Amino acid sequence: MQAVEFRDGRLILLDQRELPHVERYLEIESAAAACDAIRDMVVRGAPAIGLAAAFAMVLAAREAQSNAEPEGMLRARAEMIAGARPTAVNLRREVDAVLAVLKGPKEEWPEKALSYAEAMRRRQNQEDELMAKNALGLFRPGMRVLTHCNTGALATGGLGTAFAAIVEAHRTLGLTEVLADETRPRLQGARLTAFELGRAGVPHRVIVDGAAAHFMGSGMVDLVIVGADRIGSDGRVANKIGTYGLAVLARHHGIPFAVVAPRSSCDPLWPDAREVEIEQRDPREVLEFQGQRVANAGSDAYNPAFDVTPGELVAAIVREDGLFRPPYAF
């Protein structure tokens, strides 16, 4: 099951909105359609979004070839793709990286973009393996682990970040159980993480987001481990909404809170030289469930997709180049 592929000139995306009940793939043939898919969370997870963006640039390069001003159109398409979801650093970084290799005759642009994207996929697989190995220092036999959102192969196009670390720890050390937050409002934990944990043979249970404090206070959590959409120079972490609350709870209960993410998710300009835009999503995601209104007709909602966890609450950050402890200086 591949979250992101490129075949026969098309970007192929596993529609993660339909999982775990339906395995459906969308064939994307234009840069605009790729943007819609990223924005609508057909594909999600910072590394997977970056990979999808790199392949979307193949489509953009192809479209720009036939334009009277190919370079201008290419840059316009690139900006459109990079702006599809603003918080994850991987998206713009990979778009900019593809732009940087598109030199020379425009006829060569699609092949150059494709070559970069395929190399990126191979690199990502290697990075995921290294992160899983490096994270073993966080675990001990029999641990109970809590995780949030989805950080598996669906989120990276490789093996996963925090999820891959969990699977490797269970394989080598044996975990008692993984508690997967349901992750409101789109339920990535209940729909995707539980699905992947089941396929990997890892014992697990799904909990509602609001129950995390109860289980920590009951001694049923030994480690909280999550991924990241952006990591600042001081170790601050932008990740799925609810992550900050878990870090505060973990600190109160004396439980380590760890982050697993590749170097490509690190942003050395944040916070000193850059403000990070927190994506605000459609309030209907909160006000409705499976298309049915659950809130009062006169009510509105806030729906930020991410929050920011201060670096001082993060006990460890794992990347493909090692396991880091505070103080952080990325």
Picking from 143, 167, 121, 147, the residue whose alpha carbon sits closest to that of residue 262 is 121
Vertex 225: Cα angle to 223 and 229 (nearest 5): 160
Rounded to 5 degrees, what are φ and ψ at 258? Answer: -125, 155
Rounded to 5 degrees, what are φ and ψ at 71? Answer: -65, -40
The SS3 assignment for 224 reads strand
User: Strands 306-309 and 237-240: what pairing?
Assistant: antiparallel
Torsion, Cα 185 187 188 190, to 10 degrees, reads 160
**CA-CA distance, 13 to 4, in Å (whole number)?**
5
Vertex 240: Cα angle to 86 and 275 (nearest 5): 40
Going by C-beta distance under 8 Å and a sequence separation of 6 or more, which residues neighbour residue 289? Answer: none
User: Which position among 128, 181, 222, 229 bears the catalytic label?
Assistant: 229
- Give catalytic status of residue 181 as yes or no: no
**CA-CA distance, 293 to 297, in Å (whole number)?**
8
Picking from 138, 162, 142, 139, the residue whose alpha carbon sits closest to that of residue 152 is 162
Which residues are the active-site residues? 229
